[in-house]
Amino acid sequence: MASELELPYSTAGLATLYAVLRGGANFVKASDGSLIAATTANWPAAAIALSDGANAYDYVASIPAGTPAGLYTYAVYLKLGGAYAGSDTLLGVAASALNWNGTSLVAPGSSGSSGGSSSDSSGPGVSKAAVYLEAVTGRARVFAGSAAELLARITDASGVPLTPAGITSIVCKVIDAENPTTIVTLGGGAVTTFATLQLDGRWTADSTGFNLLIAVPGTAWPTASRYQVEATITPVTGNPFKAVWIIQAMPTYT
């Protein structure tokens, strides 16, 4: 078992990111994979530490040995204090359920001892049996100075897509990752949220759709460099979390 839980994040080398794995109404205990009640008291026991071993902005962990076969979801948090707590900052929730057969993940469309299969294989990383979180939509290439639209499906902590009524604010910034200085804070008109999931030719990740659109002007990445777009989403209920895109702006010569 290796790296079934994964989250690219904008800061490397942290020791404070962790995942909480859920199966139905239970947590998975980090130390032995047993199922324990999903209660506040059991939160610390359910915290699965994520490691960015290569300092490569990619945090991973394995599903605990002993975890029984079944369908699981997970969320990733940033620990704020000395102890793990449900009030820690939520960074994102899994894009789809993990179909676990007791020793490994079952690929979408395959059957396993859990008696089912995962039907939603959206997002990058599925080929290595890891599911990226909704908080990170992935990576893209653009031409320097050219506008782009960024799409995502954002959900609450239980995996339900957020609607405009469920969001207090979204603040979006574009940063030059090679020289971490905020380039631009996008105005509210650049961010659109939808009450229903949208499916059109722009969305190719899955057959479910998106509910967040961010229109980034070409002036946000004026020269060839690596940029990071960070949208801080504050829901009406729950902790703020980020949607992050890593953008490689390529040069043009004419």
Give residue-wise pLDDT tens across range 27-58.
999 999 999 999 999 999 999 999 987 777 88
Closest C-alpha to 66, from 96, 95, 23: 23
Distance CA 22, CA 75 (A): 9
CA distances from 39 to 35, 42, 98 (A): 12, 5, 21
The range of the structural domain enclosing residue 122 comes to 5-128
**Do residue 52 and residue 102 come from a single domain?**
yes
Closest C-alpha to 106, from 131, 138, 124: 131
The answer to whether 208 and 185 are in contact (CB under 8 A) is no
Q: In one letter, which amino acid is 230?
A: E
**Do residue 101 and residue 140 come from a single domain?**
no
CB atoms within 10 A of CB 160: 10
**Do residue 34 and residue 90 come from a single domain?**
yes
Structural domains of the chain, count: 2
DSSP designation for 155? B
**Do residue 172 and residue 246 come from a single domain?**
yes
pLDDT of 131 > 80? The answer is no
Q: Which of 81, 102, 128 is the last residue of a domain?
A: 128
- Model pLDDT, residue 137: 53
Higher confidence at residue 177 or residue 103? 103
**Do residue 62 and residue 122 come from a single domain?**
yes
Give residue-wise pLDDT tens across range 162-219.
999 999 999 999 988 777 777 889 987 899 999 999 998 888 878 889 999 999 999 9
Top-ranked range on mean pLDDT: pick from 4-8, 132-136, 147-151, 177-181: 147-151
